[in-house]
Amino acid sequence: MRFSKASLYFQVSFATVIWGAAYPLTKHLLTQVSPISVVFLRALIGALVLVLMTGSRFTAADFRFPDLCRLAVLSVVGVTLQHYLQGYALMHTTAGNAGWLIGTAPIMVALLMITVGETLTAAKSLAFALGFAGTLIVIFSKGGAGGVFALPSTTGDFIFLASCVSWAFYVLFTKRWLTGWPQAKVTTATMVVALFSVLPVWLAAGGPAELARLDARGASYALFLGVVASGLCYYFWNNSVEGLGAVKSSYFIYLEPFATLASAYYFIGERVAWGAIPGGLAILAGVYFINAKDQSLVRLRARVSSTLGIQKHGSLA
């Protein structure tokens, strides 16, 4: 199905805003059930929604052993492990920190691509430096005068970063595997495989008994996370990547932390951690430069020089 550019811009904006807003809902849901139950519910509902929305049809040939192995890896790094790590991390850190730290995911993707042969440009080097510095500021902004580390929230931040690494591997593998499949079909199959792989773990962990703890608010949040965040948004994101390209779609990561901050304040009363904002903005600047050409640095230097009144010979006017 072909979409207009206006439709694709709406879809990618919607997906990133919802993903940002989902962290506070997940944090509240975790007060009633365990992270493994959150993973199961999102996989179950998300798989049903994706099967219905994408209309993907599978045949026996789609599930040859090599493809099944690839789908199993994709389901772990892209769904079960990523969502479990995020859930566990949100039990120990703020939703706001999660919103800022998710911005490191595109930077980690670029770093992985460099390890498999992509060129390290000056713009990417600057992006890595900004992302690293910004991450340290976000993580250690809570330490204050009492110390650099603020445990256990610092531990939660590092665990959340591990989920970003997991997502980066998912993006890398999807670029290299199952390239003959439409992206919507890959995502649907990945979610279905994730559901069946997490099901026995969820049953062994006593997951069904946990569902009895859900109140009306928790059940509505679980439904929203499954239908909208795991189903509709994955579908929209795949459409935007296919229609706009991965680079242009990744720019919309800028929307996520601000959606998180607004959602955290509205739904769970979480106040803005002002100390983390400089680090978050540095991470977002890194996201910009990870997609920039080296000419962007030249233009940036020219603007700075013009603003400061620096002449060609290097002295101040």
Is there a domain that residue 192 lies in? yes
What pLDDT score does 133 carry? 79
Q: Which residues contact 94 (CB under 8 A, 6 or more apart)?
A: 153, 264, 270, 273
Average pLDDT of every residue of the chain: 80
- Position 76: which residue type? V
Neighbours of 74 (CB within 10 A): 23
Residue (of 270, 266, 263) closest to 19 by Cα position: 263
| Residue (of 135, 142, 183) closest to 158 by Cα position | 135
Residue 254's domain comprises 5-308
Residue 303 pLDDT more than 70? no
In-domain check, residue 176: yes
Report pLDDT digits (tens) over 76-126: 988 899 999 999 999 888 888 888 888 787 778 778 877 777 777 777 778
Give domain status of residue 115, yes or no: yes
Whether 313 maps to a domain, the answer reads no
The Cα 106–Cα 103 span in angstroms is 7
pLDDT digits (tens, 9 = 90+) for 48-57: 998 888 777 7
pLDDT interval class at 317 (50, 70, 90):
very low
pLDDT at 144: 43
Instruction: Tell which residue, 217, 257, 231, 192, has the closest CA to residue 20.
Output: 257
The answer to whether residue 317 sits within a structural domain is no
Residue with tokens 């000419």: 295
Flag whether 61 is in a domain.
Answer: yes
- Count CB neighbours of 144 within 10 A: 10
pLDDT band at 142 (very low <50, low <70, confident <90, very high): low
**Considering its fold, how many domains does the chain have in total?**
1
Q: Is residue 64 part of a domain?
A: yes
Burial 241-255 (b: 16+ CB within 10 A, else e): bbbbeeeebbebbeb
Structure confidence by residue, pLDDT tens digits, 153-162: 678 888 998 9
- What number of helices (H) and strands (E) belong to the chain? 16, 0
Looking at the domain assignment, is residue 267 inside a domain?
yes
pLDDT-derived band of residue 1, with 50, 70 and 90 as boundaries?
low
